[in-house]
Every structure is written in structure tokens, then in C-alpha cells.
A and B are shown apart, each in its own frame.
Chain A
Amino acid sequence: MDRRNFFKILGGATVASSAVLTACKGKNAQETTASQQEPPTDKMTMRKNPGNGDNVSILGYGMMRLPVLPKKKDTDPDVIDQEMVNKQIDYALEHGVNYYDTSPAYCQGKSEAATGTALSRHPRDKYFVATKLSNFAPETWSREASQEMFHESLKNLKVDYIDYLLLHAIGGTSRNLDGENLDSEETFNARYMDNGILDWLVEQKKEGKIRNLGFSYHGDVDIFDMLLSWHDEGRYHWDFVQIELNYLDWDYANEINSFNTDASYLYAELEKRGIPAIIMEPLLGGRLAKVPDPVVAKMKSKRPEDSVASWAFRFAGTPKGVLCVLSGMTYMEHLRDNIRTYAPLQPITKEENDFLMKVAKDIYDLKTIPCNECNYCMPCPYGINIPAIFSHYNKMIQEGNMPHDRESAEYRRQRRNYLIGYDRSVPKIRQADHCIGCGECMSHCPQRINIPSEMQRLDQFVEELKRSI
């Protein structure tokens, strides 16, 4: 956009808003559509946990992207906006949302306490709380440290028992304390088996400190299969399993990254065994809410009053074996929109399913970087802002503003926009050219993105842009 257009829009916006004001005086102003009303408090779709009969709301609250207070410096630690968290949790509970999923690692380690503070203001039998035995730092892998982590969770959440406890993100690789790279099986054994912590968790379940024991899975499908085979053999019993499921990953997870497995397979394996599935990344960190304009148009022409995000949530909630769909709702409007989608859920029809599968193909063809901005890779020891770099790249693709053809008339504008936008989204010293490729981030990415090589690719891309004046 050049300067003239910018001012035109500024001016246009003023004219438009005054036009709206005039229009509101008309007769039709009183009639409101569904999207203008408060969602109902008593229509939430509930699913029954076949194991113990828990009545779980199809919408679960993911506590990974909590609202934070404004910061003075971007390196200041996040301070969670507790007042807002309380308000949103109150609102969620009031509208029937009763599943809350957190972890000792989320929000720079502050999520559990914030969740506990908000939930403990309500009766304990009104909500289910899920947390995890996280696996990021090898320092926490000893038996003692793991037990301490669990006890800390009880303390932070201000509860005597955890409703749903998960082994966190199994299937990933890691680097141990000696700096050796461990494959996914070695990582799993080092984290949960060699220290006997899984057996200890089973004991905790017998004692009633844990009501449901399960795991969340990202990455190597062999580990997923191995844990399910243990379930078949009766070695361990999984009350539930948390998987990534959405209309893009249903058929394309493997195409996007050959290390990953299509959600259709994962879900079928769980359904076969009657294990309830908890769904994470139904919206891919918001990427499925930011679809290309032609897709938005098609979605809106089919269901004009529904949000783009609602398609993804309806898709994730449709399979009968899904117990709960998690959404990290930072803002009240996200929460309100999701409640509207699920109160009650209108399952995806066959025709709509075909449509979404076509959309998935279109999105796959865009070749965006599959980063969901979960921040698991952060902080980068060299200060690179990894998710912001990927996010800017994806944004330019999704908006159809990617400069590629030097001969095209649009190229100069697109180049300028890409570079200005890059400096805006990421300060110069946190950009991809400062990545030294140490690989510290690699094992943390649940999407298994080869972060250092992508950093170098984007750095090359930006370098070429800068030079093509």
C-alpha cells in the first residue's frame, strides 16, 4: 500500500463509520443475528468418558496462551493478566466449559498457578483439571524431580487430585545432560521408564491422586504404536490420549512433514480401542482461522453467520470418540465464538467434510511453515524470535503478498511490504540472520520443523529480497 492509498483508507474509514452510524438509525437495527447475541449457557454439547462416566464439555480450555499484561521491554518475563483469566474462566464455567488443560511448562511456567488461582474460586466438582508431567529439561527427568513436579502441580492448582494427567508430548527426541542426542524411544525411556516414574504415576492413580492417566503425542508414530500395544497387552491402561487433529492434519500431516502422522490414522487407532481422544491444535495455533481470502469467501457463502474458526472446531468435534476439543482462548471473543460453535455442536455433514478436505489441499499447496506459535522452542539461547519469523513469512503467503516474480508489476510493492513487515514483527537483532544453527530448539518443536534449516532458508530469501533493488 502506498502513502496515498493509506490516507485514502484513513479517510474512507471515517466516512464509512459515519455511514454505519446513520444506517443504525434505520428500522432494522433492533434485529440481531446469532453472532451479535450472548451464547446460551445451557446448550453446551457434553461427551461421556466411557471409562468413568465423566460428563466432559466438548470445549476444553487450553491454558497455554493466557492473556498477559503489557510489557515495558520485550525481554521482560510475561506477567499473566490474572484478572482477565479469572473473568474468562468464570464465563467459561458459566457456559458449561468444564475441562481445563495446563502444564508446568506453559506460559514460562506460570500457567498452572494462574489456572489454580482462577479455578479454586469455584467448587471442585464443577471442573476437571488436566496437567502434565513435562519433559523439556533433562534436569527434571530424575525420579525425585518428577515427583516434585507432580506435587508442585497439585500445589499450584490448589487441588488434592488431578482429573487428567498426561505424559507430555511423547514421541519427540531430545538432548540429554551430557549433550548426547537421544532418539524418540531413548527419550521416552529416559524420561518415563528408566526412573520408574510411569509406575509411580499408576500408584498415584490407585491412591486417587490421579483420576485418569494418559499421554499427549507429537512426533514419532512408533512410540504412539508402542504405547497402544502396551494398552492392548494390558501392561498399562490409557484412560485417554491427546492427539493433534484438524482438517489439515487429517490427511496432510505426513505430506507436510514426513516425520509426522496423519490425524486420520491416530484417531482410528484410538477409536478401535475405545480410548477417548482429547484434541489439541484444532485450529493449528490460529492458522486455520487465517485462511486465504477465497476460502473465507466460500465458508461465508455456505454459513454466512459463522466464523472461519468455527469450521475447524466443528470438524474437530464431529468424531464421536472425541471427548474434548482444546482451544487456547486468549481473548474473550475467542471464548464467546467457540461457545457459540459448541452450544450445541452441529456436526460436519458429508458434503461439508468434502469441502474441508478440498480446503486442506489448498492450504497444503500454499507451503506455509507448519509453525503454530506454541513457543515450545523458546527462549532461543541466542535471542532469535523463532515463532515471529515464521509467522511473518506465513502471513505474507496467506495474504497473497509473497514477492516471488521479479518481473511482475507487484514485485516492488511486495518486496517493500515484506521487508518493512519483517522489521516490524521481529527486531533486527532477533531475525533469522543471527541464527547460528546450534540446534537447541530442534527437539522441542512438536511439529518437528527443522528450525535451523528453515531459518537459513528464510535468511537467504530475505537476503535476496534486500539485494534485488
Chain B
Amino acid sequence: MLRKIRITLAIVFFTMITLLFLDFTGTFHTYLGWMAKIQFLPAVLALNFAVVAGLVLLTLVFGRIYCSVICPLGVMQDVIAKVFNHKKNPYTYSPAKSALRYTVLALFVVALVAGVGSFVALLAPYSSYGRIAQNLMQPVYAGVNNLLAMAAEHYESYAFYEREVWIRSMPTFIIACVSFIAISVLAWRNGRTYCNTICPVGTILGQLARFSLFKMKIDADKCKNCRKCERNCKASCIDIKNHTVDYSRCVTCGNCLSDCKFDALHYVVAPGLVKSKTEAKETKNVEGRREFLVGTGLALATATLAQEKKKVDGGLAVIEDKVQPKRLTPITPPGSISAKNMAQRCTACQLCVSECPNDVLRPSTDLKTLMQPVMSYEKGYCRPECNRCSSVCPAGAIKPISLEVKSSTQIGHAVWVRKNCIAVTGEVECGNCERHCPTGAIQMVYLDDNEDNPLVPAVNEERCIGCGACENLCPARPFSAIYVEGHEVHKEN
């Protein structure tokens, strides 16, 4: 019964949080946004004491039920084991790898305090799952959606619309692939090994779970030593020889309860502390996850803008893709307050990247902020009617921001690049940046104060909010003639 409740809850939670990551239409985040906010590490980073206290309490009462129900990475491992591992009695008891666990936890805390966001992001379980969902599952989801959109278009329906599928950052994509494969293999062969050796949240909750009110208890009198429970425990924490359970590793899945034919196992109020074995035997080494490519360099399109003279009717000029300019300061989304706040709080879960409807947010490729979101305007710009990223962020890295405040918050400022401006190089009147600036921060002025010269944009840096409309809509390609430099600290005008 306990097991069934746990499985039902796990399926509900897992499905909902996955949907939150997959949905790009902005439909679900209003209803499911809380799913991300009850995740342990984001709640700690957001200083969300209520949630942290709630989770601590939950663990102190029921044990590591969090790892079996709420944590999507944990449930994902159960799903993989269920699907791929059909062996009878697949697991065995193994002593806890405490040295590894505490070393990883210590490194993690140090990184957290020192603000090394990329290391924190690498280990945080919810973020790992987010990356997998955003990089590996969302493309599939979008692909199916696009098929439906094609069908809908055929039937003149607007029920579905097409969503472009593209890799936002190669390093993050590779990390997502590598961690997915590594975690999957571990889950397939050894159940919850990842959760009980690497995962810092698992280690912390494990310490709390030692003192939990309810625990799995083996009735040594009834136990016939058949070891069925031991060999089916995905956490490898049941030691039948000594009739003990390592509560720091037990994820309270309840599988053993239904496995036992002799009614020897019970989930009951704990009689007292049970010592867990702490033999340190380091064998596994999870390497390779930090392998990544830095600076992939977008494939530079060689096509040039077809400016040839028109002699015949019809056809479409080839449009060269825009290339990201080198920005001295990266741009972080409105609500993130400052680069520092972003670096300290963001767990790089990719939820904001999944949500961004304008293809502006993508994971950073910079080593210090690796996988944390940065903005760039090659495919779109930060539209005035949107604040979706701020409404989903569970970690307080992007704080909720109203549309009004956003439209007056300066996250960067536009810079004009003379050598790219077609008013100067091509002697064509343009002014597209001025026409599209939502704050009226651009005026058109004669170049070098000479009325014989072309009109070029003049940016009022004080009024500019850095939304990138000018950069995105500039006709100069591949590099825009006006681009946004980020600000380390945002300010409200």
C-alpha cells in the first residue's frame, strides 16, 4: 500500500515537473511553477525558509521520501531501472561510500560559498534533471508538437504552432548528454548509486533521515534470511546478515515491504538509533562529466546578403544568420538584479531557458558561469510583454518582476558600431533601430554633425534598457551595427 502511494505520487510529481520543462507555450508555469520551487537546493539558494523547513520536517518524519517522490532525477533513475533492468534480484548490499559522499558534499559547500556556480550546477540533482529535460526531452516534445502543428496548419487550425528546435549551447548540451548517460548506466546497473554517493542533497537528507520518526525495521524473529529484500533494494542499504538498514541511504521506496513474504519488514515509528556502517571503500570514479567543449564557435554562415540588382520577378534573398557579438559584460535577464546574484543563486536548471518564448536565453559557455542563463539577441529580443523567466525561477536567481518594472529596468545599454551601419557603408536610409526602440532611447542624427552625411542612430544610454530590439532588427549581418553591452548591476530608471 505504502509503495503504491509512493509510486502514484512519484508519477504525478515527475510528470508535472517534466511538463513544466517541456511546455514552451507558457500554459503550465502558472499552475506548475511551484513544483520547481519546492526543490531542495533552489529553495536553499532562494532563502526560501518555509520550503526548506518543510522539507527538513518531511525528512525527519518519513525519511528520504523526497528522493523517491519530489526529486525528478531520483524518479528518473527509478524509471530507467524499471525499464531496462529485468534481472531477478538485481542488487546486493554494499557498505556506504562515506568518504566519497562527504568529500563531494564538502567540495559542494565550498563551491557554493565561494560562488563557483558551475560546480554547484554540475552536482545539483534538480538542475541535472532540468538540463536533461531541456536539452534532450524538449527537442523531442517540440518535434512532436511541430508534427501536430503541420497537421493543424493543414486543417486551418491554430491549436498548435511551430517551435524552432536548436541547441542553445554546445557545452551544456554535451554535459546534459554525458550526465544522462552516466546516471542512466548507474541506475540501470546499481539502482540509486548516484543518489547515495554523489548527490549532495541525498547526503544532507540522508543525515536527517537517520533521525526520522518512521523507519524501515527488520523483525529478526520473522526474517528467514532469504535476502529477497536485500537483493531488491535499489539503495543497497539492507544488510540482512546483521538485520540492519542504512537509513542515510534508504529512500523510503517501500519496495522491501511488499517483497517480504514473511511480514518481517515494517515501516514503523523507529525504536531508536541504528548504527550505519561507514566503511570507506572508494571504487567508483565519476569522471568525464566535466568534459566539455568551450567556445564552440557557431558555424559561420558564408552566404552574403543578396544585394544583387533585380532583373526578374520573384524569389527570396538569402538572409545570413546573425552571429553573437563579443560582449564585455554578459547580459542577464531582468529580475536577476546583478551578475553576482545570478552567479550565487542560479543552479543552472535551464527552466528559464526552456520557457523563453523569444529564444533569447541560453546557457552560458563561460567557465565561471557555465550553464547559467545569459541573453543574446540573434534570434529574438526581450519582448516588453514577457516576464516568464522571472516567474519560473525557483532559486531566486531571477526574482519575480512586473512588466512595468521590467520595462524601466536597465540590464544593459546599446552601442553603435560605425563600421557595420548600412547608413554609413551602404548609403541606404534605415532607422530600423530607432523605429523599434520601446523606450525611445534612439534618435537619428546626422553623422559628424554634417547635414550632407547620412542619418545614424544616437543612443541615449540613460534611457536604454538593453532589451535588444535594435540589435535583433538591425539589417547589418552577420554582426549587427548596434548591440547591447550588459550591466553587472541592473538599475531601475
Contact = CB atoms under 8 A, between A and B. Distances in A.
B315 A77 contact: yes
Interface of B is mostly: loop
A105 B312 CA distance: 4
Contacts of B315: 75, 77-78, 108, 375, 378-379
B310 A137 contact: yes
Given A1-B156, A3-B159, A108-B315, 10 more contacts: A1-B157, A105-B313, A137-B310, A378-B316, A381-B310, A382-B317, A428-B380, A434-B432, A436-B475, A440-B310
A436 B316 contact: no
A140 B310 CA distance: 11
Contact of A378 (B314, B384, B385, B435): B314
A464 B309 CA distance: 35
Contacts of B161: 420, 423-424
Contacts of B277: none
A420 B422 CA distance: 31
Pick the most buried of B161, B422, B431: most chain A CB atoms within 10 A of its CB. Answer: B161
Interface string A98-117: 00000011111100000000
Contacts of B31: none
Contacts of B312: 104-109, 136
Contacts of A109: 311-312
Interface size class of A (residues with CB under 8 A): 35 or more
A10 B317 contact: no
Contact of B316 (A136, A428, A430): A430
A379 B475 contact: no
Interface string B309-338: 111111111110000000000000000000
A75 B317 CA distance: 6
B299 interface: no
A430 B430 contact: no
Interface of B: 152-153, 155-162, 305-307, 309-319, 379-380, 383-385, 422, 428-432, 435-436, 473, 475
A385 to B, nearest CB: 6
B311 A383 contact: no
A437 B159 contact: no
A434 B436 CA distance: 10
A130 to B, nearest CB: 17
Nearest to A374: B313
B318 A6 contact: no
A34 interface: no
Interface in A17-34: none
Contacts of B159: 1-3, 5-6
A456 B432 CA distance: 10
16 contacts: A1-B158, A105-B313, A109-B312, A375-B313, A375-B315, A376-B313, A381-B306, A381-B307, A381-B317, A382-B317, A383-B305, A423-B162, A428-B379, A436-B432, A440-B310, A466-B383
A389 to B, nearest CB: 12
Contacts of B384: 467
A469 interface: yes
A375 B153 CA distance: 24
A440 B309 CA distance: 10
B314 A379 contact: yes
Nearest first, the 6 A-B pairs at minimum CB distance are A109-B312, A375-B314, A6-B159, A383-B319, A6-B157, A137-B311
B313 A378 contact: yes
A434 B318 CA distance: 14
B326 to A, nearest CB: 22
Contacts of A416: 158
A109 B158 CA distance: 36
Interface string A404-429: 00000000000011001101100011
A467 B385 CA distance: 5
Nearest to B314: A375
B310 A444 contact: yes
Contacts of A424: 153, 161-162
A9 interface: yes
Nearest to B161: A420
A38 interface: no
Contact of B313 (A107, A437, A468): A107
Contacts of A374: 313
A380 B319 CA distance: 11
A421 to B, nearest CB: 7
Contact of B318 (A383, A466, A469): A383
Contacts of A136: 310-313
Contacts of B313: 64, 105-108, 136, 374-376, 378
Interface centre among A74, A433, A468 (most CB of B within 10 A): A433
A136 B160 CA distance: 41
Nearest to B432: A436
Contact of B475 (A139, A378, A382, A430): A382
Q: Which of A1, A2, A381, A435 has the most CB of B within 10 A?
A: A381
Interface string A38-82: 000000000000000000000000001000000000110110000
Contacts of B432: 433-437
Nearest to A71: B316
Contacts of B156: 1
Contacts of A15: none
B317 A421 contact: no
Contacts of B385: 466-469
Contact of A434 (B162, B314, B473): B473
A13 B159 CA distance: 17
Interface in A158-182: none
A429 B316 CA distance: 12
Nearest to B320: A383
Contact of B311 (A2, A105, A107, A423): A105
A382 B311 CA distance: 16
B152 A379 contact: no
A393 to B, nearest CB: 16
